[in-house]
Amino acid sequence: MKLREDCATLVVGLLALVAFAATAHAQAPNVDAAKKEEKIVVYGAQVPQAMEPMHKAFEKKYGIKVEYWRGSSTQVAERALSEFRAGRPGYDVVEGNRGVQLIMKNEGLFTKYIPPSSEKFPAQFKEKDGLITAWRALPISILYNTDMVKPGDAPKTLDDLLSPKWTGKITMPDPTRHTTTAQFLWNLSKFKGDKWLDYVKALAKQQPILVESLAPVTTTIIKGEAPVGITYIKYVKQYKGPVGYVLMDKYLTDPNYMSLSAKTTRPNAARLYIEYVCSPEGQKAAADEGEFPMLPGIIPPIKDAEKVVPGLVFMDNPSEEEFKKLMGETFRQIFFGK
């Protein structure tokens, strides 16, 4: 009897080992333990209205409440870093773009977690250290007010924005305050090589209306305050109003990540949440709200979205020092200098 039990334990153990090896360190969350933790707190850069359906579905499925606080990527990073340094992190999961996630990762804010569902994501988005998990892609294009600009008259490329026709009529986030925009401008070198800074200077001469982050660019366009602007394509779906986007060959794109707090007090619920977000169900819920998810084959219900996917060009990330220089000096002089 004892022998049979031992054999059974050995077999189960071996099977578990095989399963563990096969999933390459991915770790299935413990659902029962997660449910006992009752809730999680997520700080994220996604607008709340686009997160809500996914959170509602998660809450319904597991009975775990998601408290979501939204700030720009910059604000999310600032708050998470301040709370971490003060020894009082209020978050279990932090969502945000790659640039700031790398900075937080380097400060030790996160702990390793690879959700099993992320195994099906494209290889380039799998992080070796498992500290951050990509879950959506954010292509940037030109959006325009469809009541004020006919599709034929809209700018076709970023270069078209430099035409005198658009002087004072462009809106974009303030690159001295918004990390993703600083990163976007810096990554224009992928298209323009050394001349990227000349483009930025020419763009600044167009006297764009500067706003806090990429989301309000859309409402500035919808209101008609500026007929065109630079922001995420997904906002076409996430904001109501007369707004369309420009189909281009290539789009600078930023992947956004979910990361597990190193000091979380609800590790199981937080892991379950990250796994859910990466699962086909979570990815579909995100796509329905206009997101370009990481799981291949799921496309958001935005006109011609399938034509956007092949043109995604993922942005490089400035280091913290480069960010400081770009935002505090370079762009400050270009956009605010006399």
Partner 1 sequence: MNGATVLTRVFERPVRAVRQDPNVTVMALVGVIIAYLSLSPTFMLFYGSFLSKPLGVPGEFTLQHYVRAYSDPVTYQLLVNSFIFAAGSSLLATFLASVVAWITVRTNAPLRRIFELTAVVPNIFPPLMLAVAWGALLSPRTGLINRALIQFLGLASAPFNIYSMAGMIFVEGLITAPLAFLIVSASLHSMDPSLEESARVAGSSNLQIARRITFPIIRPALLASATLNFVRAIESFETPAIIALPARIEVFTTKIYREAIGAFPPNQNVAATYAVSLLVITMVFVYLYRRLTSSSERYVTVTGRDYRPMIIDLGKWRYFASAIAALILVLIVVLPLLVLLYVSFVTYLHVPGEKTWDLLTLDHYRSNLTDGRTYRALQNSLFLAIGGATLCMLLASVTAYMTTKTKAAGRSLIEALTFIPWAFPGTALAIGLLWTYVYVPLPIYGTLWILLIGYITRFLPYGLRTMTSTVVQVHDDLPAASMTCGAGFWATFRRILLPLLRPGFIAGWIILATIYLREFSTSIFLYSPGSEPIGPLLYHFYVDGNLGPMCSLGVIVSVICLLLIVVARRIGKVGFEGR
Residues found near partner 1 in the complex (CB under 8 A):
41, 43, 47-49, 67-72, 74-75, 77-79, 81-83, 85-88, 90-91, 100, 103, 174, 176-177, 179, 182, 209-213, 215-220, 222-226, 239-241, 320, 323-324, 327-328, 336
Rank residues 141 and 171 by Cβ distance to partner 1 and give the closer one.
171
When the beta carbons of 46 and 279 are compared against partner 1, the nearer one is: 46
Identity of the residue, 72 or 279, whose beta carbon is nearer to partner 1 in the bound complex: 72
Q: Are 220 and 209 in contact (CB under 8 A)?
A: yes
- Nearest-CA neighbor of 93 among 109, 73, 106, 74? 109
Q: Give 133 or 176: the residue with its C-beta nearer to partner 1.
A: 176
- Other CB atoms within 10 Å distance of the CB of residue 106: 12
Q: How far is the CB of 173 from partner 1 (least distance, A)?
A: 10
State in angstroms the smallest separation of the CB of 311 from partner 1.
Answer: 26
Distance from C-alpha of 188 to C-alpha of 277, rounded to nearest angstrom: 30
Least distance between partner 1 and beta carbon 335 (Å): 8
Supply the minimum distance, in Å, between the C-beta of residue 207 and partner 1.
10
- Closest approach of partner 1 to the CB of residue 191, in Å: 24
Buried b (16+ CB within 10 A) or exposed e, 25-45: ebeebeeeebeebeebbbbbb
Nearer to partner 1, 37 or 78 (CB): 78
**Helices then strands (H, E): number in the chain?**
15, 12
Nearer to partner 1, 276 or 323 (CB): 323
| Residue 136, helix vs strand vs coil | strand
Residue 117 Cβ vs partner 1, minimum distance, rounded to whole Å = 26
The answer to whether 102 and 73 have CB atoms below 8 angstroms apart is no
139: closest CA among 101, 91, 103, 97? Answer: 97
Query: Using CB atoms within 10 A of its CB, is residue 190 exposed (0-12), middle (13-18) or buried (19+)?
Result: middle
Q: What is the sign, positive or negative, of the torsion defined by CA atoms of 131, 136, 139, 140?
A: negative
Which residues face 136 on adjacent strands? 256, 293
Q: Between residues 121 and 232, which has the closer beta carbon with respect to partner 1?
A: 232
Nearest by Cα to 256 from 323, 199, 185, 180? 180
Q: Would you tell me how many other CB atoms lie within 10 Å of the CB of residue 293?
A: 24
Least distance to partner 1, CB of residue 187, Å: 16
Which amino acid, residue 325? Answer: K
Rg (CA), the chain: 22
- Residue number, 88 or 128, with CB nearest to partner 1: 88
- Distance, C-alpha 230 to centroid of its chain: 16
- CB of residue 288 vs partner 1: minimum separation in angstroms? 18
Q: Which is nearer to partner 1, 85 or 303 (CB)?
A: 85
Instruction: For the CB of residue 69, give the shortest distance to partner 1 in the complex, in Å.
Output: 3
Residues making up the chain, counted from first to last? 338
As beta bridge partners, residue 214 has none
